Structure 1
Amino acid sequence: MKRTLLLTLAAATPLYAGSPVSAPEVPPAEHWIKPTLDLRARFEYGDFDAPGTDSASAFTLRERVGLVTRDWHGFSALIEGEFLQAIGDDYDSAPTPFATQTTRPNPANPTTQINDPETNELNQAYLQYQGFDTIVRAGRQRIILNNAAMVGNVGWRQNEQTFDAISITNTSIDDLSLYYAYANRANRIFGSDATGALRSFAGDIHLFNATYTGLGDLSLTGYALLMDFDETAANAGYISNNTYGIIATQPLGPVTLYGETALQTDTSSSPASKPDEAWYAHVNASYQAGSHTFTLGCEYLDADFVTPLATVHAFNGFADALIGPRLGLVRNPGIADIYLTHATPLPFWGLKFNQSIHLLGDNNSDLDYGWEYDAVLAKKFNENFLAIAKFAYFDASGPTAGPIANPAPFDTTRFSVELNYKF
């Protein structure tokens, strides 16, 4: 019997010799400090067909390099620098009256603006606490509210807009997200060498936002944006405003409905010529048909309704023909934008294609400003690497738009190709 048992154990031993039972793996401890990297190389061409203004081309390299700490009892920190270099200088990176702040300072022979100045600056630096369903962040930070129509980071440009602020996000009530931020400065896209309103919008900025999703598929958002900016020669108080809005989003099968309306009132620092009230409205319907998505919408800005902290590139066409009036750096006579977009993946190379057409006019919906066609191709190689090509053509209807001067009287063409890498 003993002999049989020993033979059995001897025969079984080789079967297990090559696959020993191992202890469960212990994940390596997370590093206390991790680097972050966000790289973008872009070629951009612009042709603003105004008399005396040449076309422009810019090849720029942008690096965002940062460090983020591991969470320690709810506390963490981030610091990030932003560095932008231009290869060649055949473009103006700021309006020609600010010639010393442009890449090509020659106001006697201006070129089409491509607002990517060479700069080295602190992009973000904040201390954060997360706990008890609350996130508190203090310092220079990125702020994007809703679809960025009112407050955003202008992420399309190489140097993004950030805010010197303290912000609080709370989700302790089911289906309700509450947000508040106080900022005393919006650091704009024109870089650390800019001055005045090009460098920053300073003042008292209070941002309230609340989103409720406890009504089935219906999402409701309300916001109050109180912006009392310091007066500068560039804005004379015109951009100061109090804006109160509501957004509703409702999917209905293959259709998604979006509606937003807002009332804007002036502040004590607003000029007497600015009306007491101005209205905003935006409605659209998106229809999903297989791999194709079609969106038909209309956006309306009353005369003197301004959005100085918005990501304006995302609205009214990628040619940026109406950036000045929408920001409020020139008077806004009103904007109406009826648009149709189409998005679909292409059947080759993993490309995604998006195109849109805009009919643009004043707040009387006369559509006398002109029309625009945009097209975008995007290729995502992996989670870190993205390529984008973008084309925009704005066809202006002329120097007048019905009874008013056209704020965008000249044809504009823009084209860009970029590569993005981040980890």
Structure 2
Amino acid sequence: MLGGDYFAAPAAGQDRPVIPDAAIADLNRLQLIYETDRVFASIGRQIVRHGDQRFIGNSGWRQDDRTFDAARIDFDVKPGLTASYSYVWKVNQTLGTRADSDSDSHLLHLDWVRSGAFKASGFAYLIDLDDRPGTATFGARATGDLPAGPAVFTYDAVLARQQDYRTSADFTLDHAGLEGTITYGPLAGFGGFEHWEGDGTRGFDLPFAGKHARRGWADVFSNIPAEGVEDLYLGAKANWPRPPFGRKLGFQAAFHSFDPTRGGADFGHEWNAEVSFSFAENWSAGLQYADYDGGAGGPADRKKLYLSIEWQY
């Protein structure tokens, strides 16, 4: 990592925004795998991802992946229906070994594919960590692609409820998300709304989620505040599959408007922009920019610029 202490969480009185990446070396994968045509089983340190990583993911964009010390089994129940169950006894977070947690958690996920126009999933995540109140999250998601003449309309809808689990606290928090995308050749426009509830004491907890891709790239709302947060967003994408240089060029821009789910504060807005570039086989680079304006009563303003280079093997 470049930059040394600049990237550490700022001490009191400093005005640099937090970049939650630790300068560490970590073991991310050490697992035994058994696999047949219908069954995948694994035990050891591994990556677990469900759906769009809204609740369960590895946060692979960060400097260090989130990994799980877990036993996992995925199996085909019948054609079109798959199930996944993981028991997690330790989670290795992206902030380094000091942020790792012992766990007694159960992750259940079902996927049903009816057709390209309708895919559904259901989930139950019972998360018990040694450093935070336990949560039980239940929900469902529906996605699909619908032809619209020469274009394709893609929808994504999610409902979830989170409640206390193995803790003396008593709470119930809701989440709802809806997104639509119109794709026409190399161009796409998208818009959506997300509601993450807070009850004034705590916000919807996401200890295993892949967070950077949601609620703006400035990572202001990576953790849901006690007031909750609503995100109304619009954006556009463009891909240039055969540019005169390199192999592929992509552009994306988005605008987010944030509000709390309770109280009258203004959580401000954020602009995001990205350029991605594949310049050789297995090699790509990206440049992301995030500009967050906290508005009246919102979090502090911040700007972030990310440069990344990736090699896939």
TM-score (norm 2): 0.90
TM superposition shift of 1:92: 4.0
For 1:223, the equivalent position in structure 2 comes to 123
In the alignment, the residues of structure 2 paired with residue 348 and residue 216 of structure 1 have an alpha-carbon distance, to the nearest angstrom, of 34
Are residues 223 and 125 of structure 1, via their aligned partners in 2, closer, same or farther at CA, if it must alter by over 3 Å? same
Q: Deviations over 1:213-247 (max 9, x none)?
A: 135621010000001222x3xx4x2xx21000100
In the alignment, the residues of structure 2 paired with residue 379 and residue 216 of structure 1 have an alpha-carbon distance, to the nearest angstrom, of 29
Are residues 348 and 322 of structure 1, via their aligned partners in 2, closer, same or farther at CA, if it must alter by over 3 Å? farther
Are residues 383 and 225 of structure 1, via their aligned partners in 2, closer, same or farther at CA, if it must alter by over 3 Å? farther
In the alignment, the residues of structure 1 paired with residue 168 and residue 182 of structure 2 have an alpha-carbon distance, to the nearest angstrom, of 41
Structure whose residues are more often helix by fraction: 1
Please state whether the residue corresponding to 1:314 is helix, strand or coil: coil
Are residues 110 and 283 of structure 1, via their aligned partners in 2, closer, same or farther at CA, if it must alter by over 3 Å? closer
For 1:202, the equivalent position in structure 2 comes to 102
User: What amino acid is the match of 2:233?
Assistant: Y
2:195 to 300, 318, 322: 300
RMSD between aligned residues? 2.0
User: What amino acid is the match of 1:113?
Assistant: V
| Residue 186 (structure 1) aligned with residue 83 (structure 2) | no
Higher relative CO (Cα under 8 Å, sequence separation at least 6) belongs to 1
For 1:382, the equivalent position in structure 2 comes to 280
Please state whether the residue corresponding to 1:332 is helix, strand or coil: coil
In the alignment, the residues of structure 2 paired with residue 157 and residue 220 of structure 1 have an alpha-carbon distance, to the nearest angstrom, of 29
TM-score (norm 1): 0.67
| Residue 89 (structure 1) aligned with residue 8 (structure 2) | no
| Residue 255 (structure 1) aligned with residue 153 (structure 2) | yes
In the alignment, the residues of structure 2 paired with residue 178 and residue 188 of structure 1 have an alpha-carbon distance, to the nearest angstrom, of 25
2:174 to 260, 271, 279: 279
For 2:306, the equivalent position in structure 1 comes to 416
Please state whether the residue corresponding to 2:177 is helix, strand or coil: strand
User: What amino acid is the match of 1:410?
Assistant: A
Q: Deviations over 1:291-348 (max 9, x none)?
A: 2111110011111322111111111100001123x2xxxx531110000120002466
Are residues 216 and 159 of structure 1, via their aligned partners in 2, closer, same or farther at CA, if it must alter by over 3 Å? closer
Mapping for residues 19-58 of structure 1, pairs under 5 Å: none
User: What amino acid is the match of 1:118?
Assistant: A
Please state whether the residue corresponding to 2:238 is helix, strand or coil: strand
In the alignment, the residues of structure 2 paired with residue 88 and residue 264 of structure 1 have an alpha-carbon distance, to the nearest angstrom, of 38
For 2:227, the equivalent position in structure 1 comes to 333
2:70 to 159, 165, 171: 165
Please state whether the residue corresponding to 2:305 is helix, strand or coil: strand
Contact kept, 8 Å, 2:90 with 2:101, in 1: the verdict is: yes
In the alignment, the residues of structure 2 paired with residue 88 and residue 217 of structure 1 have an alpha-carbon distance, to the nearest angstrom, of 46
For 2:33, the equivalent position in structure 1 comes to 128
Mapping for residues 395-410 of structure 1, pairs under 5 Å: 395-398=293-296, 400=297, 406=298, 409-410=299-300
For 2:289, the equivalent position in structure 1 comes to 391
For 1:319, the equivalent position in structure 2 comes to 218
Are residues 109 and 305 of structure 1, via their aligned partners in 2, closer, same or farther at CA, if it must alter by over 3 Å? closer
Are residues 209 and 367 of structure 1, via their aligned partners in 2, closer, same or farther at CA, if it must alter by over 3 Å? farther
TM superposition shift of 1:181: 0.3
TM superposition shift of 1:367: 7.9
In the alignment, the residues of structure 1 paired with residue 16 and residue 118 of structure 2 have an alpha-carbon distance, to the nearest angstrom, of 47
For 2:269, the equivalent position in structure 1 comes to 371
Structure 2: 5+ residue runs without aligned partners? none
Larger radius of gyration: 1
TM superposition shift of 1:364: 4.9
Please state whether the residue corresponding to 1:91 is helix, strand or coil: helix
In the alignment, the residues of structure 2 paired with residue 142 and residue 390 of structure 1 have an alpha-carbon distance, to the nearest angstrom, of 25
Contact kept, 8 Å, 1:163 with 1:187, in 2: the verdict is: yes
TM superposition shift of 1:290: 3.2
How many residues are matched? 301
TM superposition shift of 1:113: 2.2
In the alignment, the residues of structure 1 paired with residue 186 and residue 80 of structure 2 have an alpha-carbon distance, to the nearest angstrom, of 30
In the alignment, the residues of structure 2 paired with residue 316 and residue 108 of structure 1 have an alpha-carbon distance, to the nearest angstrom, of 26
Please state whether the residue corresponding to 2:274 is helix, strand or coil: strand
Percent identical residues: 27
Contact kept, 8 Å, 1:134 with 1:172, in 2: the verdict is: no
In the alignment, the residues of structure 1 paired with residue 75 and residue 265 of structure 2 have an alpha-carbon distance, to the nearest angstrom, of 42
| Residue 291 (structure 1) aligned with residue 186 (structure 2) | yes
Are residues 356 and 216 of structure 1, via their aligned partners in 2, closer, same or farther at CA, if it must alter by over 3 Å? closer
2:19 to 92, 98, 114: 114
Contact kept, 8 Å, 1:336 with 1:364, in 2: the verdict is: no
Mapping for residues 232-271 of structure 1, pairs under 5 Å: 232=131, 235=132, 237=133, 240-253=134-147, 254-271=152-169
Contact kept, 8 Å, 2:211 with 2:222, in 1: the verdict is: yes
